[in-house]
Chains A and B, each alone.
Chain A
Amino acid sequence: MHVLIVDDSRAMRSILSHILRQLGLEVSEAANGREALDRLQELDQVQLALVDWNMPHMNGLEFVRQVRADSRFDDLRLMMVTTETEASQLVTALEAGANEYVMKPFTKDVVQEKLKLMGLLCDVTVSNA
């Protein structure tokens, strides 16, 4: 499975991609929403995007809205990466079409469980088997 990480922090991208690769996933990165939209058009196998909330150029919420407005990305699953302070805005994001969220700081286990909840990791395990 191919995952796109959308986060303006290099460190955060490294952390996420470290975890995802440990889970056996293929990873691409984008530094903001606008760049993420471009990447999505280049890479057609992306199944999941992990989306940071607060980014320059195009923030996470706006990215979610744009993705959901484009029928080409109907199959794309979106997971918001938020913090406690942003928790209040989660409803807005979920309403806009995000599928899941994970709260910072998180561990590998949390991410894994969330992916399983979304049925994404199961798919991988099955296809690997």
Chain B
Amino acid sequence: MSELEFITREFLLESCENLDQLDRDLVMLEQDPQNQEYLAGIFRTIHTIKGSCGFLGFGKLESVTHAGESLLSKLRDGELQLQAETTTGLLSLVDAVREMLANIEVAGSEGSQDYAGLIETLMRLQAGKSDCDARAGNSSSSGGALATEDCGAGHNGGGSLSDEDARANRVTIGEAAPGGVSDSTIRVDAGLLDKLMNRVGELVLARNQILQSSSMASDAELLSTAQRLNLITTELQEGVMKTRMQPIGNIWGKFPRLVRDLALQCGKQVQIELEGKETELDKTIVEAIKDPLTHLVRNAVDHGIETPAMRLARGKPAEGRLVLRAFHEGGQVNIEITDDGAGLDVERISQKAIENGLLTHDQILRMNDREVAQLIFAPGFSTAAAVSNVSGRGVGMDVVKTNVEKIGGTVDVQSVPGNGTTIKIKIPLTLAIIPALIVTCDGDRFAIPQVSLLELVRLEEEQARSGIERLHGAPVYRLRGHLLPIVDLRRELELPPRAAAGPADLNNNVVVNIVVLRADDRQFGLVVDAINDTEEIVVKPLGKQLKGITVFAGATIMGDGKVALILDVLGMAQRAHVVAEDRERSLVDQATRPTEQHRDLRTLVILAVGDRRLAIDIALVSRLEEIARADIEGADDRDVVQYRGQIMPLLHVGKLLGIPHADAQVDRPLQVIVHSQRDRSVGLVVDRIIDIVQTTVEVTRPANNDNLLASAVIQQRVTDLVDVPSLIRRADPMFYEASVEEAVVA
């Protein structure tokens, strides 16, 4: 890098930093127009940029900043009063400067954009109340036209200098400006910090190994050295973690400007307050929550806060308040976004949820307001009456939730109708080193991130034998009166089933260890062989070949040097179908998902065969019938009945699919689903018809030739979709062909 390139780089870095601060200062200044501190800061930034760019040969940038500086100096000297128009002009100045800096960074020059209009605007604003106009300071912008000519011309000729000469002694120079810490800091490439963190991770692992082996050694010196290594490593780890910490204010900095612009656009008045700007978070997390937070702020201004007229009508001040608060609590960072707007309209949300087929009317009735409010996080959910320019850009609250959960956080919404909404986000401080519970399954250890862990349940003896029940074929455990779906880690990982005498056999053994986990606001129990201990683990990403495996979030190296895989609790829950997978769809990495997923709104007949829940698309069902057993006749070794003047064959779904089921109750009539193709019909015999639902179906495991069922989650339960045509073909290969022939003949 040549020296000039180096200087240009310094110039760009410094200018960008200063501009971020300037955005904030300008918005603050608008609220407190007399504040010399803000004015001095703003003036200095523009002044500094102007000073350097002359030397670097950026003439266009210089002339724009020069016009801005002249305007600012008048403001600073109290000759002009700040008005909305002035602020807008100054913000456009900042935008123009940013644009040119960006061009310089990319192309080495300011770009071809013409800023004459902006310069003219800045001159006009400056002239609006300059010496040539009314010095008294109550002039309106209408008086500016004449003044523009006077001062504009004077300025070009350097005449403004004399204006400034005249008031040389009234100037107060930035003594009130707050001190920066820049003097004692150095800039470090973020990539280097990542590398350092990685090395420290390795060191922590090596430390763990040494501690483990030295604990068995009798050498006192080795022991004390190991202890010292332990201490130093911990301190080093903390130190390096600290270097990666960034105050959340870094991403909040843009919000005052964003809110100001949005509010103007929506015709609203919004005041933003930032509390806890200095709260620190790991760099990667700061980056990850930037977009979700921006979205929430946009939402609050666009949907949350009402128009001034509406607010006044409701007895609130015309100006809405938006408060962003960040604080540490229990090893996590809490971020709250509170507006004093209209609050969530529970009625509308319920209505929308029913319209979207998300939930049935009955389900809504069973929910309380708080639960209904959470529906805003459901995929594709929007109650905005009109999609406005501000929100409704295709990113919904579901993406906010997904992104926050991706980094191990949670989102919660609280709302008081008429009083406002608070969105609470909880996120971990760091992702690099996390506390985790170590469990064992088939001799291998697995780590479960502690954030997902709720409690541990150990069933022994009689309880272990009978504690786990089956409901519609799915294992469940009654935990304090609630049904907890049970997932067996062995089965999910396709490990060999436990030996009959094994310690935790689901059906008939002595001890069952259940790890109660939370995934996506639902709980489920994970059955493991043994529960070991909690540990601080260093998260290592999986190689890209293994990235597609959703049940693992990463790997770590244990004290004995062996690798343990980290379970992805949400992925595990979805694989086991204990939570709905809808949200998966909206994930950005959808393309990398191995399974194809189909999703559309369908009406399904839900039925039971044996202990399985099955579903048939209503389009394939012509009638639901009850047929008395006495009416069944045998023909060619097959059950048939007379039905509407025809002979209708009966197919026993359970038998065809090989689902074991209890002997049918002889006294009850047969439950039959009639499927018709042209003039031919076939009756599908099932044990019980449960319900008809309209729902979106997410096929998680498609049907294949060996299996006529595709699995999906319907009404939060695993349900198998029956491939009816294939099922019928299996029993009667000619059923469809015959009707096709007939169709041709007809």
User: Interface on A for B, CB 8 Å cutoff?
Assistant: 8-12, 14-15, 18, 31-32, 35, 53-57, 59, 61-62, 83-85, 87-89, 91-92, 104-107
Residue B44 lies at the interface, judged by CB distance under 8 Å to chain A: yes
Assess the B161–A104 pair: CB atoms within 8 A: no
Tell me the complex Cα distance, A92–B180, Å: 27
Assess the B173–A88 pair: CB atoms within 8 A: no
Closest beta carbon of chain B to A87's beta carbon, Å:
6
Q: Which residues of A contact B13 (CB under 8 A)?
A: 10
CB interface residues, B 332-347, toward A, < 8 Å: none
Assess the B165–A88 pair: CB atoms within 8 A: yes
Q: Which residues of B contact A55 (CB under 8 A)?
A: 174
Q: A11-B52, A54-B174, A105-B62 are in contact. Are A85 and B183 (CB under 8 A)?
A: no
User: Could you list 7 A-B pairs, sorted by A, with CB under 8 Å?
Assistant: A12-B52, A18-B3, A57-B179, A87-B164, A89-B171, A105-B55, A106-B54
Tell me the complex Cα distance, A106–B53, Å: 10
From B14, B164, B171, B182, give the contact of A11 (CB < 8 A): B14
Assess the A83–B183 pair: CB atoms within 8 A: no
How many residues of chain B get a CB closer than 8 Å to chain A's CBs? Answer: 41
Closest beta carbon of chain A to B52's beta carbon, Å:
4
Assess the A91–B52 pair: CB atoms within 8 A: no
User: Interface on B for A, CB 8 Å cutoff?
Assistant: 3-4, 6-7, 10-11, 13-15, 43-44, 47-48, 50-56, 62, 69-70, 73, 158, 161, 164-165, 167-169, 171, 173-175, 177-180, 182-183
Assess the B48–A12 pair: CB atoms within 8 A: yes
Q: Which residues of B contact A11 (CB under 8 A)?
A: 7, 10-11, 14-15, 48, 52
Assess the A56–B177 pair: CB atoms within 8 A: yes
Q: Which residues of B contact A15 (CB under 8 A)?
A: 7, 52, 55-56
Q: Which residues of A contact B174 (CB under 8 A)?
A: 54-56, 59
From B14, B62, B168, B182, give the contact of A91 (CB < 8 A): B168
Q: Is the interface of B mostly helix, strand, loop or mixed?
A: helix
Closest beta carbon of chain B to A7's beta carbon, Å:
9
Tell me the complex Cα distance, A9–B51, Å: 10
Q: Which residue of A lies closest to B168 (CB)?
A: A88
Tell me the complex Cα distance, A87–B70, Å: 13
Tell me the complex Cα distance, A12–B44, Å: 13
Q: Which residues of A contact B177 (CB under 8 A)?
A: 56
From B15, B55, B56, B168, give the contact of A92 (CB < 8 A): B168
Assess the B14–A88 pair: CB atoms within 8 A: no
Assess the A85–B47 pair: CB atoms within 8 A: yes
Tell me the complex Cα distance, A103–B70, Å: 16
Q: Which residue of A lies closest to B178 (CB)?
A: A56
Q: Which residues of A contact B173 (CB under 8 A)?
A: 53-54, 59, 61
Q: A85-B164, A88-B164 are in contact. Are A18 and B7 (CB under 8 A)?
A: yes
Tell me the complex Cα distance, A105–B70, Å: 16
Q: Which residues of B contact A54 (CB under 8 A)?
A: 43-44, 47, 173-174
Closest beta carbon of chain A to B343's beta carbon, Å:
44
From B43, B54, B182, give the contact of A104 (CB < 8 A): B54
Q: Which residue of B lies closest to A18 (CB)?
A: B3
Q: Which residues of B contact A14 (CB under 8 A)?
A: 6-7, 10-11
Q: Which residue of B lies closest to A31 (CB)?
A: B183
Q: Which residues of B contact A59 (CB under 8 A)?
A: 173-175
Assess the A35–B183 pair: CB atoms within 8 A: yes
Tell me the complex Cα distance, A129–B6, Å: 32
Closest beta carbon of chain A to B702's beta carbon, Å:
60
Q: A15-B55, A35-B183, A85-B70 are in contact. Are A10 and B44 (CB under 8 A)?
A: no
